[in-house]
Amino acid sequence: MEKTWRWFGYKDKITLGMLKQIGVEGIVTSLYHVPNGEVWQPEEIQNLKNFIEQKGLRWSVVESLPVSESIKYGGADRDKLIANYKLSLQHLAEAGVTTVCYNFMPVLDWIRTELEHPLPDGTFTLYFDKIRFGYFDCYILKREDAKADYSEEELDKINALAAIITQKEIDDLIYTIIIKTQGFVSGNFSDDTPNPVALFKQLLALYKGIDKDKLRDNFKYFLQEVIPTAEKYGIKMCVHPDDPPFKVLGLPRIVTCEEDIDWILNAVDSIHNGLTFCAGSLSTGLHNDVPALAQRFATRTHFVHLRSTEVLSNGNFLEASHLEGRGHLFEVIKIFEKLNPGLPMRVDHGKLILEDVNKDYNPGYSFLGRMFALGQVSGLLAAVKNQASI
């Protein structure tokens, strides 16, 4: 596997020089400053590529070329936006950047309720608390029908939380779910968004009446347009699974399990229509057996995210060590090295350890925590390779 690292562009505090020192080979990045839906221009792509190559690295993967909301809900301007998307793909291919990761999650990209959850060893990690998320849904968004999505017991706990939650905790929850986790990945929100809850509700409203089947129709429409372009220019498209892989806030999620992935890969049956195998996202679905999925989809995978999670009996989940948890990364690496060797992989969602604290890194994208995880995963990779050569 190629050791890659998600780097947030020219303004990232973690420099390419630092990455060279810790054994990173390839860079995963995006044109972060280009608003969603606009064409990525050849000059900008080339400049970024040159910048990376001057440091002795390569631009291995685009993560992400974002799919605009309107393409997902099937808005009036979707054809124009898809045409722009195709042009961006063409420009990337012309520059020699040919692996493109994206997702098809409505409104929210990934979801956590806490970004600095303390662990007994003094480090901090990302955390999803079902009851806090339920509070956000029922009391902050006040979504119609929200209560139907929670059990009686969960509703009791949500109501109990409502009786004691402080204004600061409410503000933090809004900031965490809407701004901080989405801000750097989805382009829908930023620190300057004046009334994030109102904007969030507007976006949710755009999906009224869009159920799983309708969202699948829109996804297929997108794939039927985009994959022929990917074939023509040699682009490997790879969709990222939904994080977490279940329905949230009444929004359908359609990249959650074996059946979904099968459906996507068959919707347009081409090697250019592939998967980003995110062991972490898939592992938070108790319905998923991560190594079995790797075995099944390895040959249609173009990019791998190595991380792992622990799911608690109450439905909450947190990031696990890269050596433990439901991701079973040793097995996963073994499978990929056997069935599709050499794929770019990056570690994901490092903890905050030691000097990482108060550095204001994007959540999940610490330096030391990720470096530590990369060390662990590099060890697993070396062990797999040694085993294979015995």
Q: Which of 109, 129, 137, 260 binds ligand DNO (CB under 6 A)?
A: 109
- 101 binds ligand DNO, rule: CB under 6 A: yes
d(CA 352, CA 123): 6
- 103 binds ligand DNO, rule: CB under 6 A: yes
Is residue 213 part of the annotated active site? The answer reads no
- 183 binds ligand DNO, rule: CB under 6 A: no
Is residue 349 part of the annotated active site? The answer reads yes
Q: Active-site residue among 91, 278, 322, 328? A: 278
Is residue 272 part of the annotated active site? The answer reads no
Q: Which of 376, 368, 370, 320 is nearest to 350 (CA)?
A: 370
Q: Which of 64, 99, 176, 284 binds ligand DNO (CB under 6 A)?
A: 64
* Nearer Cβ to ligand DNO (336/365): 365
- 260 binds ligand DNO, rule: CB under 6 A: no
Is residue 348 part of the annotated active site? The answer reads yes
SS (H, E, C) the chain: CEEEEECCCCCCCCCHHHHHHCCCCEEEECCCCCCCCCCCCHHHHHHHHHHHHHCCCEEEEEECCCCCHHHHHCCCCHHHHHHHHHHHHHHHHHHCCCEEEECCCCCCCECCCEEEEECCCCCEEEEECHHHHHHHHHHHCCCCCHHHHCCHHHHHHHHHHHHHCCHHHHHHHHHHHHHHHHHHHHCCCCCCCCCHHHHHHHHHHHCCCCCHHHHHHHHHHHHHHHHHHHHHHCCEEEECCCECCCCECCECCCCCCHHHHHHHHHHCCCCCEEEEEEHHHHHCCCCCCHHHHHHHHHHHEEEEEECCEEECCCCCEEECCCCCCCCCHHHHHHHHHHHCCCCEEEECCCCECHHHCCCCCCCCCCCHHHHHHHHHHHHHHHHHHHHHHC
Task: Give least dist CB 185 to ligand DNO, A.
Answer: 4
**Candidates 41-49, 98-106, 289-297, 328-336; binding stretch for ligand DNO (CB under 6 A):** 98-106
Q: Which of 1, 89, 185, 215 binds ligand DNO (CB under 6 A)?
A: 185
**Candidates 100-108, 112-120, 132-140, 209-217; binding stretch for ligand DNO (CB under 6 A):** 100-108
Is residue 365 part of the annotated active site? The answer reads yes
- 99 binds ligand DNO, rule: CB under 6 A: no
Task: Give least dist CB 319 to ligand DNO, A.
Answer: 11
Binding mask of the shown chain, residues 14 to 53, with x at each position contacting ligand DNO by CB under 6 A: ----------------------------------------
- 261 binds ligand DNO, rule: CB under 6 A: no
**Candidates 95-103, 129-137, 222-230, 317-325; binding stretch for ligand DNO (CB under 6 A):** 95-103
- 348 binds ligand DNO, rule: CB under 6 A: yes
Q: Which of 290, 285, 287, 268 is nearest to 336 (CA)?
A: 290
Is residue 240 part of the annotated active site? The answer reads yes
* Nearer Cβ to ligand DNO (238/311): 238
Task: Give least dist CB 109 to ligand DNO, A.
Answer: 5
Q: Report how many residues bind ligand DNO under the rule CB under 6 A.
A: 11
Q: Which residues are catalytic?
A: 240, 278, 305, 348-349, 365
- Per CB under 6 A, residues contacting ligand DNO are 63-64, 101-103, 109-110, 185, 240, 348, 364
